Structure formats: structure tokens, C-alpha cells
Amino acid sequence: MLLEPTMNKLNAMKLTGMVEALEEQRRSPQTATWSFEDRLAMLVERQWLWKENRALKTRLRFAWLRQTACLEDIDFRHHRGLQRGVIDQLAAGDWLTYAQNCIITGPTGLGKSYLACALAQKACRDGHRTLYCYAPRLFRDLLAGQADGSYPLLLKKMSRVQLLVIDDWGMEKGSPAQYRDLLEILDERQGTGSTLITSQFEPECWHELIRDSTVADAILDRLIHNAHRIKLGGESIRKNRGMKKDSLPPSRQAE
């Protein structure tokens, strides 16, 4: 059997993982002792892994996460009210399956954005289409979308992802029209996707941010009732790390 035509056909079918595995099998003398079934299983496994890895890269690229973060790297030693059991529950992914929400609140410097990106990265790893939005930029995008006619496409994009992350909610106040646009996005996502919000402000203060009781009630109604709540407190992690670094000798600070 000529190998080159087989390789060409595999490449034509975009079975890159199988091509790589077949090349490795050719170079390894151990594979001569394997059965046909074992060699075929290895080829199929490599193709499956290659496809899964490519799909994950695509989801991460689409998500456009603000930070490179993962749940396995979360530090639970810092006293900020973060419970491992809550993170383990969210890591299981049922909240995404049932289109539930998550709200992370607390003062600046406690890792709210990191937690959000870590949960979003886990969602990507689990096969969920995810989109990260920095809240001030989101409001600017909504305003620009209404001006240039791209708003329907933006609404469609946000309504179709399984997890929408809105980071630093309340950092900048939006206009009444922008809050109504946000309400429309949440309406489109109701029951079909999860929304994760981080904010320095507790939901009880959101009426003051939105300044329209009707719209505020509607936004809270669509977010709060089925939301997992994480309330962080304590001293800033960034501040503590900075103090520790400053206390090191000059030679250690440069490491």
C-alpha cells in the first residue's frame, strides 16, 4: 500500500490529527508490535484531541477574555470570603446548563475580574460559547451600534452565546437608552443563556446607578432570582502583593 496517497487524502479531508499520529507511528519501532485495532484507535484518538483543541482555541479567541485565568490557579488562602465549595459548584457547570446567572461583588483589588475570566475559561473548556465584555466598553459599543446600524448584529451576537460576562458593571454610568439596550439583551438571553456580572456595587444599589426604577426593576428581575452570588470582602490582593514585594531585599524584588 502506498502511504503518500493515503496521507494526501487524509490532508484533503483535514484529518490533521490522524496525519500527525500516523507519522509518529511510522517513526516509532514499537508500533510494529501493535495490533491493527490499537493503531487505529490511536489515530482516531489523536484526531479527536486535535479537533477538540482547535475548537477550544476558537472559543477562547471568540471570548476575548481580559485575563489569562483558570479555576485551578485560584488562591483560596487570601481572606476575602471566597468559598471553595461555591467555586467547585460553579466549576461543575450545571448553572450554565440551566441558564442561571452569577453575580460577583466586592471592593476593587479582590480578584473579581480574575474569577469571572476563570469561570469563562472553564465554560470554554466545557464547550460553551462565551463572550467577555468590559462594561464601559459595552455601553460605548451599544451607543455606536445604534448610530451606525450595527446594533441588530451586536444584539444577535450577545443573545447567542451561552455565557455573557459583563465585567466592572457600574464603573461608568450609562444613558437611559443604553440601559434599555442592556435590558433588551437580557430579554433575548432569558432562559437560553447565562450572564455573569462583576461589580463594586451590590444589586441593592443598582437603582441609583440606572436612575430609572422601571428599567432597574426589569434588569434585576432578569438577573437576580436565579443567580449565584459571590460577595467578596477584605483587603486588596494587589495591595498586599505590592507590600510584600516592597518588603523584599532589592535582589529578591528583581526575581
Banded model confidence at residue 240, pLDDT cuts 50, 70, 90: low
pLDDT digits (tens, 9 = 90+) for 19-45: 888 888 888 888 778 888 888 888 888
Residues 202, 232: Cα–Cα separation, whole Å: 11
Tell me the whole-structure pTM to 2 decimals: 0.79
Task: State the pLDDT at residue 216.
Answer: 94
Collapse the DSSP code of 184 into the 3-class scheme (helix H, G, I; strand E, B; otherwise coil) and give the result.
helix
**pLDDT at residue 187 tops 70:** yes
Average confidence (pLDDT) over 175-195: 92
Q: What is the mean pLDDT of residues 100-127?
A: 95
Rounded average pLDDT over 91-106: 96
- 110 within domain boundaries: yes
Residues 112 and 167 in one domain: yes
For strands 163-169 and 130-134, give the pairing: parallel
In the prediction, which pLDDT does 104 show? 97
Say what the pLDDT of residue 255 is. 29
Q: pLDDT grade, residue 242 (50/70/90)? A: very low
> What's the pLDDT at 98?
95
Q: What is the rounded CA–CA span in Å between residue 155 and residue 128?
A: 18
d(CA 79, CA 137): 31
- Judge if 96 and 189 occupy the same domain: yes
- For residues 19 and 114, state if they share a domain: no
What pLDDT is attached to residue 7? 82
Quote the mean pLDDT of the chain.
Answer: 87
**Grid cell listed for 79:** 481572606
Asked if the structure places residue 98 within a domain, the reply is: yes
Residues 55 and 79 in one domain: no
Q: Read off the pLDDT of residues 127-142 as tens digits, 9 standing for 90 and up.
A: 999 999 999 999 999 8
Check residue 245 and give its pLDDT.
Answer: 44
The CA distances from residue 60 to 70, 76, 115, 128, in Å, are 12, 25, 16, 10
**Beta 194-199 vs 130-134: how paired, if at all?**
unpaired
User: In angstroms, rounded to a whole number, what is the distance separating the alpha carbons of residues 119 and 163?
Assistant: 10
pLDDT at 244: 46
**Domain match, 42 and 74 both:** no
Structural domain of 51:
3-26+34-62
Q: For residue 249, is it within any domain?
A: no
Give domain status of residue 246, yes or no: no
Cα dist from 236 to 69, 79, 107, 113, 202, whole Å: 18, 10, 8, 13, 18
Domain boundary among 62, 77, 109: 62
71 shares its domain with 53:
no
Whether 56 has a pLDDT exceeding 60, the answer reads yes
Confidence band (pLDDT; 50, 70, 90) for 247?
Answer: very low
Whether 251 maps to a domain, the answer reads: no
Residues 49 and 134 in one domain: no
- Same-domain status, 51 and 142: no
Q: Is residue 247 part of a domain?
A: no
* Same domain, yes or no: 135 and 155: yes
- Higher-confidence residue of 243 and 56: namely 56
CB atoms closer than 10 angstroms to residue 163: 27
The Cα–Cα gap between 187 and 165 comes to 15
Name residues whose C-beta falls within 8 Å of residue 231's C-beta, 6 or more positions apart in sequence. 81, 105, 106, 202
pLDDT of res. 2: 66
- Give the pLDDT of residue 58: 93
Task: Say yes or no: 92 and 10 in one domain.
Answer: no
Number of domains in the chain: 2
Same domain? For 142 and 159 the reply is yes
Kindly tell me the sign of the dihedral angle through the C-alpha atoms of 85, 223, 113, 128: positive
In the prediction, which pLDDT does 243 show?
45
Residue percentage of the chain with pLDDT more than 70:
92
Could you tell me if residue 109 is inside a domain?
yes
47 and 84 in a single domain? The answer is no
Residue 255 domain flag: no
